[in-house]
């Protein structure tokens, strides 16, 4: 693992591939990735517009998501946070022993919003107590929004390192 790792709750389980499940997950993932990318919009590029109306609407959306998250948290707690390395093609997770097969991995990217981004994947390379899970192919939109989220997280980490 590297210093650009994330420490987030996740759940990983074996699955039998189901096309309808993949389609439903894709739709949910796209909505959540867009929301998380907007929520993590702490750093504004000077090229980005910051209109009052957009800010007001985003604030209302943030509040609604936080309230829904609080309600959901009361229903079921988040899994234990793990140190992971997330990329566009897959994820490295802690794994004392190599595992094979297909899995479903649920990532809870915001503690206040206990709705997971869920990917299907294939267990791959194992090294030094971690294992790579290769994501099943993402849609173009999922790939775009996951890229946006990762880019913003990377910028946040760089900013945090510079402030130390």
Hey, what are 84's tokens? 């992971």
Q: Residue 41, exposed/middle/buried by CB under 10 A (0-12, 13-18, 19+)?
A: middle
Digit-coded pLDDT (tens) for 133-159: 999 999 898 899 899 888 888 888 888
Q: What are the residue boundaries of the structural domains of the chain, listed by start? A: 6-163
What's the pTM value of the predicted model, to 2 decimals? Answer: 0.63
Rg (C-alpha) for the chain, rounded Å, is 17
| Polymer length of the chain | 164
Residue 13: is its pLDDT beyond 50? yes
Digit-coded pLDDT (tens) for 41-68: 544 444 445 566 776 677 677 667 766 7
Residue 22: is its pLDDT beyond 80? no
């Amino acid at each position: 693992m590297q210093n650009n790792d994330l420490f987030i709750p996740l759940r990983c389980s074996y699955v039998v591939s189901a096309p309808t499940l993949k389609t439903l997950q894709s739709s949910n993932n796209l909505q959540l990735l867009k929301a998380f990318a907007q929520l993590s919009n702490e750093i504004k590029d000077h090229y980005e517009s910051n209109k009052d109306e957009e800010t007001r609407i985003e604030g209302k959306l943030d509040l609604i998501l936080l309230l829904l998250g609080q309600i959901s948290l009361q229903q079921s707690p988040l899994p234990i946070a793990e140190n992971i390395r997330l990329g566009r093609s897959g994820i490295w997770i802690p794994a004392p022993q190599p595992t094979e097969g297909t899995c479903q991995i649920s990532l809870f990217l915001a503690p206040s919003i206990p709705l997971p981004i869920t990917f299907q994947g294939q267990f791959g390379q194992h090294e030094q107590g971690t294992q790579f899970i290769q994501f099943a192919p993402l849609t173009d939109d999922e790939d775009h929004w996951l890229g946006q989220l990762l880019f913003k997280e990377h910028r946040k980490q760089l900013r945090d390192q510079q402030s130390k």
